[in-house]
Structure 1
Amino acid sequence: MIDFMFHMPTKLIFGSGKLKELANPENVPGKKAFIVISSGGSMIRHSYLTFVQNMLNHNDVESVVYNKIQENPVLDHVTEGAKLAKQHGCDFVIGLGGGSSIDSAKSIALMANNDGNYWDYMQAGTGGKKTPKNPALPIVAIPTTAGTGTEADPWTVITNSETNEKIGWGNDSTYPTLSIIDPWFTLTVPPKVTAFTGMDAFFHSVETYLSMQRQPTSDLLSQQAVQLINTFLPEIVKEGQNIEARTMVSWASTAAGVCQSLSSCMSLHSMEHALSAYYPQIPHGAGLILLSRAYFKHLTPHMPERMTDLAYFMDVDVDALPEEKRPFAFVDALDKLIKNIGMGELSLADYGVEKEDCAKMAKNAMETMGVLFTCTPVEMSEEEVTAVFADSF
């Protein structure tokens, strides 16, 4: 924590009603937008797409809409989207929706300004390990969920369906130029999605607090995010129209995203990427929940002080516990939080995961996202990773 870099080039505009700032000409980085949304139709049903286009119209900005993004975004759609953005002469890209849409927007923005295949630039697995010649087109991120924090970091996670590889990547140019976080646009998110996305932000915060890449600013933000999510996520799962609580969780998500820029997630995310690469029907937040208890039980004995801190941030009276039990209080608090958001009965079997795939997923996690294992303060063997997968059933 003595040596670190603070680099955060994204302009963040946060607050209820702030999406109107998109009409400000100072906030528009081009004249023709390529708008990336999901295939689910929620951006159209709730008129969010229309709202964004109306704001752009104030500055005579044209737009082209791409609406094929899946819950776990795939390489084919990045390739197709980039081709369309080039064909239509778009000069910036807007990611509107959840993390999948914004991640896809980042990758499309990169490939709309570079040749070849996006996988040429992956630095792990079967990736080509090349360096892009050109920066991405300017990116505007407009999250309508509170969870991924991708509006505040350069990372974009895409799955190569042919090779079952789900890999994160990013460079300075894939930081959004502008991110507008308007909690009003999270009011329509259903309870289950609210829970899954909120827990994604929670684990970003926890992992960056424990990470070997942690630093003073990420420590402070992750502490706050853990506290806010533990307090307010159960509230908004039960009462989604609570704008004050929604605002708190939206900020926690963005703060956790900043943490991912300044610090790094750990191998829990590597393992979930492997899980949902083989089982793409699993939402990312659900996968993290399913693996988390076994994962943190494995880590707790190796980092007792930090695990005790996390329990404290979750309002556990750790001083009242015997000293030897304090580090394990976090896993108990985590279990309580998972139950409080209605996910206590969630199981890998719900998604058809086969236990015999544990070794295959462990190998995948270490080969495709091995870099996050180097950020984990505990060295984990392939056998240990396999055991964590198995213990998650």
Structure 2
Amino acid sequence: MSSFHPTHPETVFTYGAPGLKFGVGARHELSHDLAQFDAKRVLIVTDPGVAATGSPGEIADSLRAASIEAVVFDRSRVEPTDGSLIEAIEFARAEGPFDVIVAVGGGSSIDTAKAVNLLTTNEGELMDYVNAPVGKARAPRNQLLPLIAIPTTTGTGSESTTICVLDVVSQHVKTGISHARLRPTLAVVDPELTLTQPAGVTAASGLDILCHALESYTARPYESYERKQAADRVPYCGANPIADMWSEKALSLMASSFRRAVRDGDDLAARTEVAMAATFAGLGFGNAGVHIPHANAYPIAGQVRDFHPAGYDADHAMVPHGMAVSLTAPAAFGYTFRASPDRHVRAAELLAPGAERPDDAAQFLPQVLAEIMRDVGIPAGLGAVGFGTGDIDSLVEGTMKQQRLLATAPLDVTEGDVAMILDKSIELW
């Protein structure tokens, strides 16, 4: 029941994905993968926390043993800023040229690698490419280098997507760069790398998986848009049959494995299922798109004052991306229910098989989601991470800047709608 009635409905949807290598031990085949690109010199992008696990060093040593020169940049910032991306770009420009870029880490390292790839192959400054209205939304003119993404966390889906997310510090807003050429060439998903992921990181990242799947599944349908010319097509094309398939499977996997992976980080079977769910959700939302919870998450993360989450080895205040997304998700899905009641109910049933449907079906998915959040230790609302009703106006302003995401919402979204969702999210339970 979409509220959109195009005069000339869209008849085409698109699907893009990286090459994929999935499974325990997949990282050990990287030198073989790089040989496919005739790579002689590689930049490895990671962050201090992941570097401390030893995995990036082991990967670099294995490449050197295969006569591939490996240069390591290990200063990616968790939740990147424009400044941290510029630091990485300047390092790569000074140390280059490279044949291939390899990202080892969570979404922050992968997104940093995307920015490095973009700005070492194309002219201009970082803000030239950042989404409007924050930046100039310039499209890259030149092809990028091959990018191999090796995720060490399960959730962001950055290894599958065309998006690089960053905080623009001067504007107190989180935004992104979006272009099909940013999508990694190959995703190497090795669940063994996620065994070192702390419970708090597993919980926050897992909520990102759930919201990726839920938002793309409930997104505005592709056929509800006006028909586009080929040159005007964007990676986020709306809910479609192929993205739906990935999202449904991701939700089913998370229903059986997410709590186990948070409770027992050494459960490799659970870790593998969550890694599979993260991959599936990335393949879904990387084409259908996300909407209100993600749009809200950007100002929540960008305006944080003094919250320090458990499990994150960071010296700065932060609300991790997946946590920020989840905090308004129950209220957001309560709002979007009327656009597609059957989908919202189906999503709740996939996440909580056998759960009793409440009298008000619009509250089914919000209740299921809030119960999962509570079980895995997510804070009980915006109030628990330092926001109050007095912050709503500034958060609304930040959300409304995310028009690329709000355009994928299944209903028109006004400032009043966002304010209502944020107000309901101050205290979730």
- TM range, normalised to the smaller chain? over 0.9
Counting matched residue pairs gives: 386
| TM-score normalised by structure 2 residue count | 0.85
SS at match of 1:129: coil
Work out the CA distance in 2 between the residues paired with 1:45 and 1:7.
33
Instruction: Indicate conservation of the 8 Å contact 2:60/2:72, yes or no.
Output: no
Partner of 1:285: 322
Q: Deviations over 1:322-369 (max 9, x none)?
A: 7x63342212211221122123x53433432243121111122112x1
What is the aligned counterpart of 1:130 among 135, 138, 146? 138
Map 1:35-50 → 2, pairs under 5 A: 35-38=44-47, 41-50=48-57
AA at the equivalent of 1:340: D
Please give the alpha-carbon distance, in whole angstroms, between the structure 2 residues aligned to 1:72 and 1:374. Answer: 24
What is the CA-CA distance between 1:2 and the residue it aligns to? 5.3
* Alignment partners' CA distance in 1, 2:342 and 2:367: 16
SS in 2 for 1:195: helix
Moved over 6 A (4+): none
Instruction: Report if the CA contact (8 A) 1:207-1:266 is conserved.
Output: yes
Match of 1:328 in 2: 363
- Distance in 1, matches of 2:285 and 2:333, equals 19
Aligned partner of 2:35 in structure 1 is 26
Distance in structure 1 (CA, Å) of the matches to 2:20 and 2:366: 33
Q: Report the alpha carbon displacement of residue 200 of structure 1 after superposing the two structures with TM.
A: 0.3
TM-score by length of 1: 0.93
CA RMSD between the two structures: 1.9
**One of 292, 309, 323 as aligned partner of 2:346:** 309
Matched, 1:68 2:75: yes
Percent of paired sites with the same residue: 27
2-structure distance, mates of 1:89, 1:75: 21
Unaligned segments of structure 1, at least 5 residues: none
- Equivalent position SS for 1:94: strand
Cα–Cα, structure 1 residues 359 and 365, in superposed 2: closer, same or farther, change >3 Å?
same
The aligned runs of 1:131-170 (5 Å cut-off) are 131-170=139-178
Residue 118 of structure 2 is aligned to residue 110 of structure 1: yes
Per-residue CA deviations over 1:211-249 (Å, capped at 9, x if unaligned) read 110111111110010111122110011111010110000
Q: Deviations over 1:11-43 (max 9, x none)?
A: 1100001101102143556322222212xx332
Match of 2:385 in 1: 351
Q: 3-state DSSP class of the match of 1:34?
A: strand
Read off the aligned partner of 1:77 and give its amino acid letter: S
Q: Is contact 1:106–1:136 with CA below 8 Å preserved after alignment?
A: no
Cα distance in 1, alignment partners of residues 81 and 143 from structure 2: 21
Residue 15 of structure 2, aligned match among 2, 6, 13: 6
3-state SS, counterpart of residue 133 of structure 1? coil
Structure 1 partner of 2:87: 80
Deviation of 1:146 after TM superposition, in Å, equals 0.5
What corresponds to 2:61 in structure 1?
54
Query: Match for 1:337: what amino acid?
Result: I
Q: Shift of residue 7 of structure 1? A: 2.4
The 3-state SS of whatever aligns with 1:179 is strand
Instruction: Provide the residue aligned with 1:236 in structure 2.
Output: 261
Q: Are 2:334 and 2:365, in contact at CA under 8 Å, matched by a contact in 1?
A: no
Q: Which moved more, 1:380-389 or 1:334-343?
A: 334-343
| Structure 2 counterpart of 1:289, one-letter code | S
- Residue 173 of structure 1 corresponds to 181
CA distance 1:260–1:125, shift in 2 (3 Å): same
Question: Taking structure 1 as reference, are residues 174 and 193 closer, same or farther at Cα in structure 2, changes over 3 Å only?
Answer: same
Secondary structure in structure 1 of the residue aligned to 2:159? helix
> Letter of the aligned partner of 2:328 in structure 1?
L
Which amino acid counterpart does residue 210 of structure 1 have in structure 2?
A: T
Cα distance between partner residues in 2 of 1:361 and 1:327: 25
Distance 1:243 1:2 in 2: 42
Q: What is aligned with 1:383?
A: 416
- The amino acid that maps onto 2:329 is S
